[in-house]
Amino acid sequence: MSERPRRTYRATQRAGPKAARPAGPRAGMMRIDVYTVFPEYLEGALSASLLGKARAGGLLDVRMHDPRDWSTDAHRSVDDAPFGGGAGMVMMAEPLFAAVEATEPIRPLFLLSPSGRRFDQSLARELVAGDGFSLVCGRYEGVDQRVAEHLCDDELSVGDYVLAGGEAAALIVIEAVARLVPGVLGNDESPAHESFTDGLLEEPQYTRPAEFRGWEVPEVLRSGDHGRIEQWRRAQALRRTLARRPDLLDDSSLSVEDQALLEEFPAPEDG
């Protein structure tokens, strides 16, 4: 089966005179258009916590569009039986095309589905560098293939499992990108130093008390020696990644420095 080439999109490098954005802090907010038959489900989740504050604070412009509002039949149907037979219903192309064409979403426009390209931290970083993106949430047993091929720019999966619909997957994508927008996190800290940024899992973290039920916080973290603390943290991140996610280290063999750190800092009891 030959796949038609996707519509092309560039998240980081847009064509056209409106593309230029001044360097430094982002100008304008990040816009996200979402196509869903459960707008209230997403509204509920997006009005809580960090995302609600970002929307209220003008950093994030998330717009919900319900394809039922563009359904052409009296029952507001958005799904129908599959050609060829079989169980379940398929989301129809027409209401989704009509909704998208009427609302002109910011692109790239992604269809969330288990068959998509895996969403990961590097795509989150790519998307936050642009002005926004849009998401189509599939429901039922699937979505008419013409939506993927002729309406959307690409298909995204958040993992190898099947959801009842794309809404939970959309939340994952929105939250992962939105927290990278400067000002969305509760503090001024940029998330540059965190899991996946350097391709490693996070090191263990501790807070008070220094001893809890006999379990002590590693001495080095209470030493005040910041050079040594950073070395310890890197050693723990390396050890954890080697033990739990060796796939993350596959193409990069450890540097001599990292190997030395692993020897200098022994594994904790429950690494």
Q: Which residues bind ligand JF5 (CB under 6 A)?
A: 112-114, 138, 142-143, 157-159, 161-163, 165-166, 169
Tokens of 245: 């996610």
Q: With beta carbons less than 8 A apart as the criterion, state whether 133 and 176 touch.
A: no
Nearer to ligand JF5, 11 or 135 (CB): 135
CA angle (22 as vertex; 18, 24 as ends), nearest 5: 145
Q: Which is nearer to ligand JF5, 52 or 165 (CB)?
A: 165
Closest approach, Cβ 235 to ligand JF5, in A, equals 34
Name residue 246's amino acid.
P
Cα separation, 174 vs 139, in Å, equals 18
- Pick between residue 170 and residue 242 the one whose CB is nearest to ligand JF5: 170
- Phi then psi for residue 211, to 5 deg, are -130, 130
- Please report the DSSP string for 24-42 in residue order: SSPPS-EEEEEE-S-HHHH
Q: Which residue is nearest to ligand JF5 (CB)?
A: 138
Nearer to ligand JF5 (CB atom), residue 128 or residue 169? 169
**Closest separation between CB of residue 244 and ligand JF5, Å?**
22
Question: Is the CB of 77 or the CB of 197 nearer to ligand JF5?
Answer: 77
Cα–Cα distances in Å, from 77 out to 29, 93, 113, 122, 126?
A: 34, 11, 21, 37, 36
Is the CB of residue 271 less than 8 Å from the CB of residue 218? no
> Which of these, 185, 166, 161, 160, lies nearest to 175 by C-alpha position?
185
Angle of helix 256-264 relative to helix 226-244, nearest 10 degrees, comes to 100
Is the Cβ of residue 50 or residue 163 nearer to ligand JF5 in the bound state?
163
Q: 127 with 133: CB under 8 angstroms? A: yes
Minimum distance of ligand JF5 from residue 166's CB (angstroms): 4
Rounded CA gap, 61 and 3, in Å? 33
Nearer to ligand JF5, 134 or 236 (CB): 134
User: Which residue lies nearer to ligand JF5 by CB, 164 or 254?
Assistant: 164
- Report the nearest approach of ligand JF5 to the CB of residue 172 (Å): 8
Distance of closest approach, residue 163 Cβ to ligand JF5, in angstroms: 3
Question: Residue-wise over 20-59: b if at least 16 C-beta within 10 A, else e?
Answer: eeeeeebeebbbbbbbbbbbebbeebbeeeebeebbeeeb
